[in-house]
Structure 1
């Protein structure tokens, strides 16, 4: 058991290091092509939308760490009841945060014309913002599963998945920009890649943890709940 965890830790670290380097190169490549094809105006509005998503991401601050911490002991002792209870709890939390983010994101949409000048806005900017917001909201539908893998010393599965789809996304977006110069097409590719990436992680988790499927509601122990609240509010 200890040897297996040590092996997974080393594997996680190695893949994370490689993936981080590859991610930087791929993102730089995408941004270079983006600027060359679409220009500074599109880069500016895209950066504004991404900064808004970064602001919304603050809602999740601390929850991911709480998930990993709370799940580590039940996973180590194969306590399926508590693993199920915790995953059910965090799924509800992330869905709630997703709804809150959707509402706040919708309100911010109304304020965007006041955050920038009319000349800085691009054609169909509302649709572009909607695609970026939708891509961000997909995070809340699947993050509990990725955190479960991290807690089970299997983060390399999630990292490998993200890296491969980032590569695919970069290639498709580069081709889209080069041949169509479509910003909306660029964003749609990002959304579809995120959707398929999440679905593959969903299938992987269901296959690895079949007892989570259609499980009856199970309460989290009071002590564990208190610990989670403490970590999220610290």
Structure 2
């Protein structure tokens, strides 16, 4: 019964999550386009830069959210309402402190912000005002009932938060689009973003209260329980630092060394990659709570079998996406940003490699997070990120944007992935990892062949317009899936996933 519930919840979260993610991709795409053509590349680069700067300030979160949600899994299984309420109280306290820390540290860093922009600062815009508005938005995201969202996540009801964001994002982008296309005031653009963040937090908290009225932020946890949670948070800190460095370093380094215009061009390409990655992440986010539940109640062998099934699904999807991206990246960018803002095809190849490696890595991270293997894994993200940062700063000066992308790929392949594989198979699965590694290598080889053959076929389609783009999309999807079917249909995972898909479809019918 629990397994059926996990599958049902994950399926629902994937459906709503995919819908929301598609919506979230389309609206920012329209917004980026409007800023690009109505306000200029400088504003676009500035937008990307401060997104990364504020992500750095989110270090203060320390991984509290992940630790608290993980701590709720067992009480939910046991229906221990008193402990869940006490966890909410602790979560509320921590998030208030986090918002205060971000405000103080952000204020201290204010005088140093201009050093992050090499050139191309838009006229009439104060970098200090832009920074402080972004800082205020980040602080409000923690202070206003953010802890309530943990109830939805721990109960696998991410679809509720998705619906709220669907409505609030509609308002935000509609209002911002009017601002960009009429008065072109970047300050008002940011104020709309702040207002939307406030509304999103309040409405999400309202629905969490309505669905789970029995859970209030009251009570006190035993000191031993608090100590365990704090230990998890401490172990998660290095992971958080690593994530922040990897996610933010590229944009900040490009802005500091190459300028805002180069930053805008790079982030146009990176936006496409993050859009596809975001769609894939819906699957990971929707499954994490179910995986965490399964790890607690199922056998080690069952969990390893589930890992292989999830890996098969993700590698099929990632292989198809990689092939389609390789075929469509440049034709799409030519239509969207025009020739003058395009980067060489070699950048596309680097982006696709980056995407595929990140999906392999995310499978392992998902299981690591669901199993709570944070203590053993505490140094890996930090070491990986520091290697990435050093390579970033060195390589950007010699090979520019290529160095920024390749530094991430090298650090993950050489440091991050071997390390996390060791941790997973030593702590969780307690077996030799070579069988699983061989499967990953096979998936990688198949994906390389599929991408190459699909690109050769799709490149035969002439033309540069929308019709040619649509035809290439159709051809690349069909060809890549046919090739992967030939490569995978005899695998045991194929049969298992086929049964799973049929079961889900019957339930939805």
TM-score when normalising by structure 2: 0.43
The 5-angstrom pairing of residues 22-37 of structure 1 reads 22-37=23-38
The alpha carbon displacement at 1:88 in A equals 0.9
- Pick from 145, 148, 158: which aligns with 1:145? 148
Question: CA 1:44/1:6 → structure 2, altered by over 3 Å: closer, same or farther?
Answer: closer
Which range is displaced more, 118-127 or 93-102?
118-127
The alpha carbon displacement at 1:223 in A equals 4.3
- Pick from 169, 175, 185: which aligns with 1:172? 175
Task: Name the counterpart of 2:89.
Answer: 88
The alpha carbon displacement at 1:94 in A equals 1.4
Distance 1:99 1:227 in 2: 21
1:193 pairs with 2:182: no
Structure number with the bigger relative contact order (C-alpha 8 A, sep ≥ 6) is 1
Which range is displaced more, 99-108 or 204-213?
204-213
The alpha carbon displacement at 1:194 in A equals 1.1
Larger radius of gyration: 2
Gapped regions of structure 1 (runs ≥ 5) = none
The alpha carbon displacement at 1:216 in A equals 4.2
Distance 1:18 1:95 in 2: 32
Task: Name the counterpart of 2:79.
Answer: 78
The alpha carbon displacement at 1:50 in A equals 1.5
SS of aligned partner of 1:196: helix
Question: CA 1:223/1:112 → structure 2, altered by over 3 Å: closer, same or farther?
Answer: closer
SS of aligned partner of 1:180: coil
Q: Is the 8 A contact 2:76 2:84 kept in 1?
A: yes
The 5-angstrom pairing of residues 34-49 of structure 1 reads 34-49=35-50
Task: Name the counterpart of 2:405.
Answer: none
Q: Is the 8 A contact 1:81 1:218 kept in 2?
A: no
The alpha carbon displacement at 1:25 in A equals 1.6
1:113 pairs with 2:114: yes
Distance 1:134 1:163 in 2: 23
Which range is displaced more, 219-228 or 104-113?
219-228
SS of aligned partner of 2:66: helix
Q: Is the 8 A contact 2:69 2:153 kept in 1?
A: yes
Which range is displaced more, 204-213 or 166-175?
204-213
Task: Name the counterpart of 1:161.
Answer: 164
Question: CA 1:103/1:118 → structure 2, altered by over 3 Å: closer, same or farther?
Answer: farther
CA RMSD of aligned residues (A): 2.3
Q: Is the 8 A contact 2:180 2:189 kept in 1?
A: yes
Distance 2:226 2:99 in 1: 24
Q: Is the 8 A contact 1:146 1:201 kept in 2?
A: yes
Q: Is the 8 A contact 2:113 2:128 kept in 1?
A: no
Please give the per-residue CA displacement for 1:159-183, whole angstroms capped at 9, x wherever unaligned.
2212322222111111111121111
Distance 1:197 1:163 in 2: 10
**Equivalent pairs, count:** 233
Gapped regions of structure 2 (runs ≥ 5) = 236-377, 379-509
SS of aligned partner of 2:114: helix
1:20 pairs with 2:58: no
Task: Name the counterpart of 1:128.
Answer: 130
The alpha carbon displacement at 1:139 in A equals 2.1
Please give the per-residue CA displacement for 1:62-93, whole angstroms capped at 9, x wherever unaligned.
32221221111212322111001111111111
SS of aligned partner of 2:221: coil
The alpha carbon displacement at 1:105 in A equals 1.0
The alpha carbon displacement at 1:201 in A equals 1.1
Distance 1:18 1:154 in 2: 15
Distance 1:70 1:170 in 2: 35
The alpha carbon displacement at 1:34 in A equals 1.2
Please give the per-residue CA displacement for 1:117-155, whole angstroms capped at 9, x wherever unaligned.
687264243332222111111221233211221001111
- Pick from 188, 202, 206: which aligns with 2:209? 206
Distance 1:216 1:13 in 2: 32
Question: CA 1:15/1:220 → structure 2, altered by over 3 Å: closer, same or farther?
Answer: farther
Q: Is the 8 A contact 1:60 1:97 kept in 2?
A: yes
Which range is displaced more, 42-51 or 94-103?
42-51
1:66 pairs with 2:78: no
